[in-house]
Amino acid sequence: MRLTMHALPFILITLSFSVQAKMYKWVDENGQMHFGDKIPPKYLVKEYDELNDQGIVMKHKEAAKTPEQIAEEKRLEEERKKAELEEKRKQQRDRVLLDTYTTERDLIVARDSRLDTVDSQIRLAASIIADSNHKIESMEKQVARLKASGREVPPDLFKRIDNQKRQVSVQYQVMESHKKRRDEIATQFTDYIERFKELKMEQKAKREALAKTRTEAL
């Protein structure tokens, strides 16, 4: 049975004789409101209300979500979780900063110590490169002398030259990696120092606010 909104008073009177009866209210695709004891199948996936015998809404059923709505909700939930995780990580970094360092000077000392370590690795790689290049130059001169004198160049000499050239190539990669790491450390500690200043200012503001509150309470 399906009735329009105009039949609602009669329905409510009838329902008063049967407390077990259920009524539903739904809206069709034209915006027309309907009442009935059964919902047409095509409207079961739409929004509707279940009414008691006084016509009061007892239960509200939301419309079934479309695949697009479900996908959007999933995307938003993933973004929320991602933002929540990032916030937790930020709070953890803040705690580590405050627990590890007492002053800005401590951060600068820690930064310089790490940069010095990386610089020493860069210098070591540069030293190995210079030494290998020197050996290559010496061996290539030896090859040239042998060829000029008409003597055969030992195969092992060419092999040692190739080994030194590979060494140079590897050490250049090592040195570039250390330089990249050096830049990362410098950038990281610049961020740390700025955040440390902000946290210390926040702590100071909280202490001043607390002191003011206590003074006013006296």
Each residue's pLDDT tens digit, 160-191: 999 999 999 999 999 999 999 999 999 999 99
User: CB 51: neighbour CB atoms within 10 A?
Assistant: 21
The last residue of one of the domains, among 100, 125, 149, is 100
Burial track 87-110 (b if 16+ CB lie within 10 A, e otherwise) = eeeeeeeeeebeeebeeeeebeee
Q: Which residue has the tokens 């034209």?
A: 30
State the Cα torsion 116-122-124-127 to the nearest 10°: -130
Each residue's pLDDT tens digit, 78-120: 999 999 999 999 999 999 999 999 999 999 999 999 999 999 9
Same domain as 149, residue 45: no
| pLDDT of 26 over the 90 cut | no
Same domain as 93, residue 127: no
The last residue of one of the domains, among 80, 100, 120, is 100
Same domain as 94, residue 27: no
**Banded pLDDT at 13 (limits 50, 70, 90):** very low
Same domain as 205, residue 106: yes
Mean pLDDT (the chain, rounded): 88
User: Do the Cβ atoms of 139 and 160 come closer than 8 Å?
Assistant: yes
Q: What domain range is 37 assigned to? A: 2-61
Same domain as 154, residue 115: yes
Domains contained in the chain, number: 3
Residues 213, 208: Cα–Cα separation, whole Å:
9
Each residue's pLDDT tens digit, 122-166: 999 999 999 999 999 999 999 999 999 999 999 999 999 999 999
Same domain as 129, residue 190: yes
Q: What is the DSSP string of 143-179?
A: HHHHHHTTPPPPHHHHHHHHHHHHHHHHHHHHHHHHH
Same domain as 202, residue 113: yes
Same domain as 211, residue 135: yes
| pLDDT of 6 over the 70 cut | no
Same domain as 48, residue 76: no
CA distances 186 to 122, 201, 204, Å, are 15, 23, 27
Percent of the chain whose pLDDT exceeds 70 = 90
Residues 63, 33: Cα–Cα separation, whole Å:
15
DSSP bridge partners of 26? 34, 48
Return the higher-pLDDT residue of 190 and 47: 190
CA atoms within 13 A on the CB side of 144: 6
User: Do the Cβ atoms of 177 and 152 come closer than 8 Å?
Assistant: no
Same domain as 190, residue 158: yes
Q: State the pTM of this model.
A: 0.61
Same domain as 81, residue 151: no
Same domain as 208, residue 145: yes
The last residue of one of the domains, among 100, 125, 156, is 100
- Residue 211 in tokens: 């002191």
User: Do the Cβ atoms of 115 and 185 come closer than 8 Å?
Assistant: yes
Q: Which residue has the tokens 């000392």?
A: 109
